Amino acid sequence: MLVVAEREQLPVQQAKAGEPEAWSVLFRRYQLPLYVYVFELARDEQTSLDIVQETFIAAVRHIGGLRDEAKFGGWLFGIAHQKCVQSWRQQNRAAALRDEIAESPPDFDDGPDHWLIRREQEAEFMSMLNELPVPQRSVLLLHFVEDFSLEQIAEITEAPLGTVKSRLHYAKRALRKILKDQEP
């Protein structure tokens, strides 16, 4: 799933002016990508839904502080990331990192055998991803799943660009090691 390109025309100015329809458009555009990102970090459906809701509430309250309207998506993901960090601080780590995988409807373009194979591969990948530390997993998800640039990830996670690059490097290296260790 790709996040909206920062150049896509969104009604951010209208949202700043308090227009409900603008917020409705922004909510529809970002609710699923935010949920997917948050779920991959929190690993709990209800917690993820709560964090997405809290993210939009915070966005409505603080939209006036957004300086560059073209960076709305990164700003919103940054709020979600901070809400995840707050959630981790409130919960014990074991409860926050469950090994559940969200159910998604089958893709009817493929037959059931293709769908089962893909689900199995997704489950294996998510299992490997769950072995990574949260900061590395977060960078991987933001970069490869949500298609954010490294600079945007640095803004979202409030980490220096060098740290983001390092986390991405070590995350890829760790995934390669996990794959190698699983070979027969």
Instruction: Give tens-digit pLDDT for 76-109.
Output: 999 999 888 888 766 544 333 333 333 444 444 5
The end-to-end CA distance of the chain, in Å, is: 32
Amino acid 28: pLDDT: 93
Instruction: Give tens-digit pLDDT for 127-140.
Output: 778 888 888 888 88
Q: Give the DSSP letter string of 45-84.
A: HHHHHHHHHHHHHHHHHHGGG---GGGHHHHHHHHHHHHH
Q: Residue 80 corresponds to which tokens in the numbers above?
A: 């979600």
| Residue 96 vs residue 10, higher pLDDT | 10
| Residue 174 vs residue 91, higher pLDDT | 174
Q: How far apart are CA 144 and CA 123, in angstroms?
A: 17
Amino acid 51: pLDDT: 94
**Average pLDDT of the chain, as a whole number:** 79
Q: How far apart are CA 52 and CA 60, in angstroms?
A: 12
pTM: 0.57
pLDDT tier at 3 (50, 70, 90 boundaries)?
A: very low
Domains of the chain by start residue, with CATH:
12-182 (1.10.10.10)
Q: Say if residue 172's pLDDT is above 60.
A: yes
Q: How far apart are CA 146 and CA 156, in angstroms?
A: 12
Tokens 């917020």 belong to residue: 23
Please return the burial class of 94, using the count of CB atoms within 10 Å of its CB with bins 0-12, 13-18 and 19+.
exposed
Is the torsion defined by CA of 112, 116, 121, 123 positive or negative? positive
Instruction: Give tens-digit pLDDT for 50-71.
Output: 999 999 999 999 998 888 888 8
What stretch of H or E contains 162? helix 161-182
